[in-house]
Structure 1
Amino acid sequence: MPKKVDPRQRRTLIADALMRVAAQQGLEAVSLRHVAAAAGVSAGMVQHYFRTKDEMMAFALSVVRDRSQARVTDAVAALGDRPAPRQLLRAMIAALLPLDEQSRDDGRVALAFLAYTAVRPEAAATLRKDNRQLVDFVAGLLPGPDADAAAAGLLALMEGLGVHLLGGNYTPQQALRALDHHLDLIFEATGGAGERPPVTPT
């Protein structure tokens, strides 16, 4: 009997190859031919699952999103029941920062996709939706009357730290200290700082 192929598994294999190419060689190196070579499959097979480069990039981003969500879920679960808002935010943002090799690879792909969509607004719809949901969630955890603005600023800090981490400008320890300092400013202003976790080497 012919071997049954799982389309999702095959698409994920190709998306992983795309992410390796983007992370190691840059977005300009992403092409059907290069991705096929990295995946060890034919160019025709890549084209069977992804008709355009936009489709390949969007699926790769969905894989990054799933991995990031898994890291966040694990980090939040480690806090136990009913963590304080500051602890929850710190754990969530630290899990999203590129602090180790796997998250750095994912971060490079996410950054490449962001640059890719800067000149392709139609490809950025998912990013806009995710960003709005994340801002709303973070705002719900922040004190004060300007929670939306504070949430936007906190997430902008997260993205900036991510870029500097990917560029090697900050160490993980420096990035986490900057995050803790910013959270202190937000929560101490309203007397809700809570417990500050230690910065551990990564």
Structure 2
Amino acid sequence: MPKRVDHEHRRQQIAAAVRRIAADRGLEGVSLNEVATEAGISKGFVQHYFASRDDMLRFAVTTLRSGLEERIATPPGAEPRVRDLLVALLPLDEPGRDAALVANAFVVRALKDPEIAGHFRTGHGLLRDAVAALLTAAKEAGALSPTVDPTAEAGLLLALVTGLADAVLLGYQTGEEAVALIDLHLSRIST
């Protein structure tokens, strides 16, 4: 009987290899040969699933959202909080650092690739909407200043976290300092 191949699993395996290489060496280190070696499969296998390096990168960027969703997920039974979501976006541990390095590598690629840029715009919009919804709930509960515009504030908070994440990656802020700055900003808009 012929062996059944889970094609989606293979594509995910290749995307995981792309992410590992990107975290270690950036996208310039990603080639069909390197990905095949990292994934423990042949170059022909990679080419079977992806006609080109660009196709492989475009697929790999679609897999970033699931990792982000896992990082920012609220534990079962816990109340979702803006602070927890924002802190989860910082590279405070090895998986967070790797995720930030991979995302940054793809951001550079997105500047020249409209398809990848579209994935980032969509993901950012979903994240902004999630933060805005949490801020709206906090405002309705009386925990935020009545003058806070949840949508505008969500944009500001995500910009703050992006800058802080880069600062932590580059080593001119510690994770603790970045969290303290998030707390400072949140205290300014809280009642």
Q: TM-score, length-normalised on structure 1? A: 0.81
Shift of 1:174: 1.3
Q: Distance in 2 between matches of 1:95 and 1:55?
A: 30
Q: Report which stretch shifted further, 145-154 or 94-103.
A: 145-154
In structure 2, the gaps of 5 or more residues are 140-146
Q: Are the equivalent residues in 2 in contact too, given 1:97–1:103 (CA < 8 A)?
A: yes
Correspondence for 1:70 = 70
- 1:50-91 CA-partner distances (Å, limit 9, x unpaired): 223333223323333212211222xx22662xx3xxx61111
Q: Indicate yes or no: 2:167 matched with 1:169.
A: no
Shift of 1:135: 1.7
Distance 1:151 1:169, change over 3 A: same
Q: Indicate yes or no: 2:112 matched with 1:119.
A: yes
**Secondary structure at 2:41's aligned position in 1?**
coil
The aligned amino acid for 1:21 is I
Q: TM-score, length-normalised on structure 2? A: 0.85
Q: Are the equivalent residues in 2 in contact too, given 1:136–1:148 (CA < 8 A)?
A: yes
Counterparts of 1:1-150 in structure 2 under 5 Å?
Answer: 1-73=1-73, 76-77=74-75, 80=78, 83=79, 88-142=81-135, 143=139, 144-150=147-153
In structure 1, the gaps of 5 or more residues are 192-202
Q: Are the equivalent residues in 1 in contact too, given 2:61–2:116 (CA < 8 A)?
A: no
- 1:164-194 CA-partner distances (Å, limit 9, x unpaired): 222222222111111111111222xxx2xxx
1:178 to 158, 175, 181: 181
Q: Distance in 2 between matches of 1:50 and 1:165?
A: 34
- 1:133-180 CA-partner distances (Å, limit 9, x unpaired): 222232233343533221111000111111122222222211111111
The aligned length equals: 181
Q: Distance in 2 between matches of 1:177 and 1:88?
A: 16
Distance 1:79 1:176, change over 3 A: farther
Q: Distance in 1 between matches of 2:90 and 2:43?
A: 34
Correspondence for 2:157 = 154
Q: Are the equivalent residues in 1 in contact too, given 2:22–2:101 (CA < 8 A)?
A: yes
Q: Tell me the percent identity.
A: 43
**Secondary structure at 2:92's aligned position in 1?**
coil
